[in-house]
Amino acid sequence: MPLGAAPTAVARFVEAARKRDFAAIGGCFTDDATVADEAHTHRGRTEIRRWQEASRKKWEYTLTVKTGTARGVDGYIIEGHLSGNFPGGEADVTYAFTLRDGLISRLVIS
């Protein structure tokens, strides 16, 4: 998984998501964090944790990280590939992280 010099919170998020450790996923984010995914925005740690729980109940998938790149002083981009039992079965995705105080304050998945 080529995360390069990924910030700790980003590496923790990827690992927690892989393990389906939903409490750990929530702990990667600031209290007021947002996640934008599939035309929905999830706000705060509780909603973010619930989003991951619901997504994982609905779909089985794995993320293969292709690249990880710093974006300025407070951002990190992961280019990855999802494969699983969702419609189409395969998708290339971009995870755009914004960081604050060592945690993820915003994540946009496209």
Tell me the pLDDT tens digit for each residue of 55-105: 888 988 999 999 999 999 899 999 999 999 999 999 999 999 999 999 999
Which tokens is 86 given? 């969702």
Averaged pLDDT score across all residues of the chain: 93
Q: Give phi and psi for 88, each to the nearest 5.
A: 90, -30
The fraction of the chain above a pLDDT of 70, given in percent, is: 96
The CATH number assigned to the domain with range 8-109 reads 3.10.450.50
User: Predicted confidence band at 2 (pLDDT cuts at 50, 70, 90)?
Assistant: low
Angle at 40 between CA 31 and CA 79, to 5 degrees: 85
Domain ranges of the chain: 8-109
What's residue 27's pLDDT?
A: 95
pLDDT at residue 47, rounded to an integer: 95
Residue 1's pLDDT is 45
